[in-house]
Amino acid sequence: MITGDDLQIRWWNLEAKLVERFGKKPDLETILFLIGIQEFGEIKPKFSKEQKQELMHVAVCSLLAPSGYYAYEGKDKDGWPHFKQLKQMPVMDPIEQEHFLKDHVLLYFDQNGI
């Protein structure tokens, strides 16, 4: 894990790029939603509330797969990615969880050239 100050600076840089691209600053949930859409590979005019939650779940699984928490299993007949959980998440307080996710989001954007 990277120091909190470095993480925060890298996060602000990512937010600035996303503001430039989308015109407003997204929160972590919005970023997870965008990653979910990217991983799903299809943009629909409207997603149901359940589909939005699924997209965020796809995002979290995709983010944590490189660290060995999930493994991609394939897509179902509707094109939804499915993952198998390989190991339990470490116990963390809410701030640690947020930093953990943000670190993985930053890694995702670095690896995908975004």
Cα distances (Å, whole numbers) of residue 17 to 2, 11, 25, 27, 80 = 21, 10, 9, 13, 28
Q: Kindly list the domain boundaries of the chain, sorted by start residue.
A: 4-111
| pTM as predicted | 0.87
Q: How confident is the model at residue 100 (pLDDT cuts 50, 70, 90)?
A: very high
Structure token digits, residue 95: 């701030």
Q: How confident is the model at residue 1 (pLDDT cuts 50, 70, 90)?
A: very low
Q: Which stretches does DSSP call E strand in 16-105?
A: 70-75, 81-85
Percent residues over pLDDT 70 in the chain: 96
Spatial distance between the Cα atoms of 106 and 12, rounded to a whole number of angstroms: 11
**Are the CB atoms for 84 and 64 separated by under 8 Å?**
no
Structure token digits, residue 105: 């989001």
Average pLDDT value for residue range 67-75: 96
